[in-house]
């Protein structure tokens, strides 16, 4: 079912999200991928605080191509989420509510989603030009030296995603295989 959600996600509005739902997100999300996750993990290991507040926030696993003049961002589609599996449970336990990426997640991530009432969305992989149209503004807020891998604060409007793992642990990828496998 199609839904429109104004961010931030909360304990309340993740309750109704079910694997397979098509959702349009509007509001603020943050980008972080491999190198930013590694650095956030190291920061936590040193007992320091993170450059962004995770509470009820959503992280988009994405590293954009450079913006042409007059545009907020370049091509901006999701990267493979499983590379962040090593770090995601810790961030979820610290209050992270949503993740946007593509591809499978580990059991540990699924358990952390259930434990924390969070959600994993997929955006359409390889549709970076289309998805860039739903991004209104982009600003680097941390780790500028990482280039495309810096943490960016994005304002999005009707950003299209699909619920893949809901807070009950239902997984759309598994459900889809059961429905469409023919041999």
Partner 1 sequence: MREIDVSEVTRAIKEMCVEANHRLSPDMKKALYDGCEKEESSLGKKILMQLEDNLKIADEDTIPICQDTGMAVVFARIGQDVHFTGGDLEAAINEGIREGYTEGFLRKSVVADPLERVNTKDNTPGVIHYSIVPGDKVELTVAPKGFGSENMSRVFMLKPADGAEGVKNAVLTAVKDAGPNACPPMVVGVGVGGTFEKAAELAKEALLRPVGEHSKVEWAAEMEKELLDRINKTGIGPGGLGGTVTAFAVNILTYPTHIAGLPVGVNICCHVNRHAHRVI
DSSP designation for 83: G
Stretch that binds partner 1, among 5-13, 46-54, 90-98, 117-125 (CB under 8 A): 117-125
Asked if residue 94 lies in contact with residue 106, where contact means CB atoms within 8 angstroms, the answer is: no
Q: Which is nearer to partner 1, 46 or 183 (CB)?
A: 183
Stretch that binds partner 1, among 41-49, 64-72, 84-92, 151-159 (CB under 8 A): 64-72
Contact pick of 6, 147, 158, 169 for partner 1 (by CB under 8 A): 147
Q: Answer yes or no whether residue 182 interacts with partner 1 by CB under 8 A.
A: yes
CA nearest to 140, candidates 16, 15, 36: 36
- How many Cα atoms occupy the beta-carbon half-sphere of 140 within 13 Å? 14
Q: Answer yes or no whether residue 72 interacts with partner 1 by CB under 8 A.
A: no
Q: Answer yes or no whether residue 76 interacts with partner 1 by CB under 8 A.
A: yes
Q: Answer yes or no whether residue 152 interacts with partner 1 by CB under 8 A.
A: no
Contact pick of 64, 87, 116, 154 for partner 1 (by CB under 8 A): 64
Q: Answer yes or no whether residue 40 interacts with partner 1 by CB under 8 A.
A: no
Q: Answer yes or no whether residue 70 interacts with partner 1 by CB under 8 A.
A: no
Beta-bridged to residue 6, according to DSSP, are 26
d(CA 101, CA 145): 23
Query: Looking at the chain, which runs of residues are DSSP E strands?
Result: 2-6, 22-31, 58-60, 98-101, 119-122, 135-142, 151-165
Residue 177 Cα distances to 16, 121, 173, 174, 180, angstroms: 23, 18, 6, 5, 5
Q: Answer yes or no whether residue 179 interacts with partner 1 by CB under 8 A.
A: yes
d(CA 129, CA 150): 20
Q: Which is nearer to partner 1, 13 or 148 (CB)?
A: 148
Q: Answer yes or no whether residue 26 interacts with partner 1 by CB under 8 A.
A: no
Q: Answer yes or no whether residue 157 interacts with partner 1 by CB under 8 A.
A: no
Residues forming contacts to partner 1 in the complex (CB under 8 A) are 20, 22, 35, 62-68, 74-77, 79-80, 82, 102-104, 122, 124-130, 132-133, 146-149, 160, 162, 172-173, 175-183
């Amino acid at each position: 079912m199609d839904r429109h959600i104004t961010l931030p996600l909360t304990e309340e509005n993740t309750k109704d999200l079910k694997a397979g739902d098509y959702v349009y997100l509007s509001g603020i999300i943050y980008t972080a991928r491999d190198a930013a996750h590694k650095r956030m993990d190291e920061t936590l290991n040193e007992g320091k605080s993170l450059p962004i507040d995770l509470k009820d926030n959503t992280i988009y696993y994405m590293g954009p191509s450079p913006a042409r003049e007059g545009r907020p961002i370049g091509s901006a589609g999701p990267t493979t989420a499983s590379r962040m599996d090593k770090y995601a449970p810790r961030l979820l336990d610290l209050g992270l509510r949503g993740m946007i990426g593509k591809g499978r997640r580990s059991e540990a991530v699924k358990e952390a989603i259930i434990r924390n009432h969070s959600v994993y969305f997929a955006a359409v992989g390889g549709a970076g030009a289309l998805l860039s149209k739903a991004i209104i503004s982009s600003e680097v807020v941390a780790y500028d030296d990482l280039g495309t891998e810096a943490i960016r604060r994005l304002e999005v409007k009707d950003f299209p995603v699909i619920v893949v793992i809901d807070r009950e642990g239902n997984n759309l990828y598994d459900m889809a295989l059961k429905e469409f496998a023919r041999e």
